Every structure is written in structure tokens, then in C-alpha cells.
């Protein structure tokens, strides 16, 4: 009898110890995610360009931080794509993308996140949103109204693009290799009580036409993320899966079918009633 009671107590102590270790590990994981996640989300190192980059514009953020942007003008275009690039890229890497978008009949405006290229400061989720709004103001100053602006977010750029789509009235939102949330790039379930760039939560607030491009062989952000996002969107939408494409080679594939889908969505938008942007 005594040995049985002793065994039960030992088992209870073991369970309590394991529970405490797991709880402590989870608290440490939450702390690491809270304090260091943005360094993992934005792993950029060295600029690929200098001050002589064609089309370079240096903007001043509300807090005075210089933010680098680049403008590619297509003279016959009346619509502008505002592009938010991936987390390993800067403005000097975008010529292939820019040339494809320009051949499709659009001008292009892109920015570097803080700490990227010639942009100063530190990249954070909130800074991305603030600087995205600045880009929209710049686009308007260049003569483009919201119904002539297409927001395009690649990978981590899907975060600021989606946020800006809620706050403005763009002609369309295009997401390329997007994630549902930043912390769920490798898991289908939320593991933490907070997250970064929660596109999934925001998607049902986006009323502009939505086109999502994703490679079927993307192992960095699997294509199920795009399926979840497209399901959440309630308005005109299209999911274009690019067979055999991964995360970083999508622009080497044939994208004519994707741009045809985009044009069909734009035709639907152009014939539909306009809406007012959501108050922020």
C-alpha cells in the first residue's frame, strides 16, 4: 500500500515537472517571437544598388526617416502597380519584375523597407504599414487616383499590400506567394497568442478584386496559404497556381495566363460600383 502511494506521488511530481518545463518553454518561445521575430522576418543584409539607380526617389517618412523608392514609367499606361517586394530583395533586384509588369501595360512604383537598400531605420510591421501609406500618397502625387492603382505584394510584401487594400480603394490587389500570417509559414495552426502580418484575418475586409499567384513547388510558403486566403475573400477573385514554380523562381515562368486573369478581374472592377475606403 505504501509503495503504491509513493508511486502515485512520484508520478504526480513527474507530471508537474514536465508541465512546468513545457510551460516555461512556451513562455520562452513567446518571448523570443515577440522580441526577435522581426529580425527573422526581415533578414536583409547589403544593398545591391547605389544613389545612381535609375528612377530612384528618396521619400521622407512622417518621423523623418529616409525611405528609398523607385519609379518605372510606362508612357502609354494609365494604371500604376505599387509593389511591395520580398524580404531578401531590394530595389536593385526588381528589373525583371518591372519589365514584365511594364510589358503588361502598367507603370510601377516600389519601395525598400527600412534598413533595406538606401532606406534608413529598422523594418517592423508598423513601419511597413506607415511607409505603405506614404507610397500611396506618392502615387497620388504622381497623378494616379485609387481606381488606377493596383497593389501588389510579394511574399512578406503581402502584409503591407493587404493592409493598404483595406484602407484605400485600389483597382485590384495582387498577392504573390503570400502567407496567411507570418508565424504560420510552416504550420497550419496558430501556436502563439499573437502574430505578425495577419493577412487571413484581414482578407474578408478587402473588397477590391483579388488575384493570387503561387508556385505549386513553393516549400518556403506552401500554396495552401493562398487557398486559405482566396477562400476568405468575398468578392471578385482568382487563384493562379504556377505548375513547377517555387518561391524564388516564379518570375522565370510564363506569366501571360496570370496577367490575362488580372485583366478579366480589372474589367469586372471597371464595370462595378465604387466603394469608399474603410476608415482607419
Rg of the chain over Cα atoms, rounded to whole angstroms, equals: 22
CB 206 within 8 A of CB 165: yes
51 backbone dihedrals φ, ψ, rounded to 5°: -65, -15
Instruction: Calculate the alpha carbon distances from 137 to 120, 163, 239 in Å.
Output: 19, 15, 29
277 found inside a domain = no
Q: Report d(CA 208, CA 11) in Å as an integer.
A: 58
19 found inside a domain = no
Query: How much is the pTM?
Result: 0.85
Q: What is the mean pLDDT of residues 116-145?
A: 97
Q: Active-site residues: which are they?
A: 155, 218, 247
In tens, the pLDDT along 203-238 reads 999 999 999 999 999 999 999 999 999 999 999 999
3 found inside a domain = no
Q: What is the mean pLDDT of residues 162-189?
A: 89
14 found inside a domain = no
| DSSP assigned state of 182 | G
269 has a pLDDT exceeding 60: yes
Q: What is the mean pLDDT of residues 146-151?
A: 96
Domain that holds residue 48: 42-270
Regarding predicted confidence, which is higher, 143 or 34?
Answer: 143
List the 237-242 sheet strands across, edge first: 56-60, 66-72, 107-111, 80-84, 149-154, 172-176, 210-215, 237-242
173 has a pLDDT exceeding 60: yes
Instruction: Calculate the alpha carbon distances from 279 to 34, 171, 213, 233, 248 in Å.
Output: 28, 18, 28, 19, 35
CB 200 within 8 A of CB 178: no
In tens, the pLDDT along 55-98 reads 999 999 999 999 999 999 998 889 999 999 999 999 999 999 99
Residue 43 confidence class, pLDDT cut points 50, 70, 90: confident
Q: Report d(CA 14, CA 64) in Å as an integer.
A: 56
117 found inside a domain = yes
189 found inside a domain = yes
250 found inside a domain = yes
Q: What is the pLDDT of residue 252?
A: 95
CATH number at 48 reads 3.40.50.1820
How many separate domains does the chain show? 1
CB 161 within 8 A of CB 155: no
202 found inside a domain = yes
Amino acid at each position: 500500500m505504501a509503495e503504491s502511494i509513493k508511486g502515485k506521488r512520484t508520478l504526480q511530481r513527474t507530471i508537474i515537472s514536465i508541465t512546468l518545463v513545457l510551460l516555461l518553454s512556451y513562455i520562452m518561445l513567446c518571448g523570443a517571437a515577440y522580441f526577435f521575430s522581426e529580425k527573422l522576418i526581415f533578414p536583409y543584409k547589403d544593398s545591391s544598388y547605389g544613389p545612381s539607380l535609375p528612377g530612384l526617389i528618396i521619400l521622407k517618412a512622417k518621423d523623418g526617416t529616409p525611405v528609398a523608392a523607385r519609379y518605372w514609367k510606362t508612357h502609354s499606361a494609365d494604371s500604376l502597380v505599387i509593389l511591395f517586394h520580398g524580404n531578401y530583395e531590394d530595389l536593385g533586384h526588381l528589373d525583371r519584375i518591372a519589365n514584365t509588369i511594364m510589358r503588361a501595360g502598367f507603370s510601377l512604383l516600389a519601395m525598400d523597407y527600412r534598413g533595406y537598400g538606401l532606406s534608413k531605420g529598422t523594418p517592423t510591421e508598423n513601419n511597413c504599414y506607415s511607409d505603405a501609406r506614404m507610397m500611396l500618397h506618392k502615387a497620388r502625387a504622381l497623378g494616379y487616383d485609387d481606381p488606377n492603382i493596383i497593389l501588389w505584394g510579394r511574399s512578406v510584401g503581402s502584409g503591407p499590400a493587404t493592409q493598404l487594400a483595406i484602407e484605400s480603394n485600389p483597382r485590384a490587389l495582387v498577392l504573390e506567394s503570400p502567407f496567411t500570417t507570418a508565424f504560420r509559414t510552416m504550420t497550419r495552426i496558430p501556436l502563439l497568442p499573437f502574430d505578425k502580418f495577419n493577412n487571413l484575418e484581414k482578407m474578408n475586409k478587402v473588397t477590391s478584386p483579388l488575384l493570387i499567384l503561387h508556385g505549386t513547388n513553393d516549400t518556403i510558403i506552401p500554396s495552401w496559404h493562398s487557398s486559405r486566403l482566396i477562400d476568405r475573400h468575398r468578392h471578385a477573385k482568382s487563384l493562379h497556381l504556377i505548375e513547377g514554380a517555387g518561391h524564388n523562381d516564379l518570375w522565370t515562368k510564363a506569366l501571360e495566363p496570370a496577367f490575362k486573369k488580372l485583366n478579366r478581374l480589372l474589367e469586372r472592377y471597371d464595370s462595378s460600383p465604387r466603394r469608399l475606403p474603410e476608415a482607419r
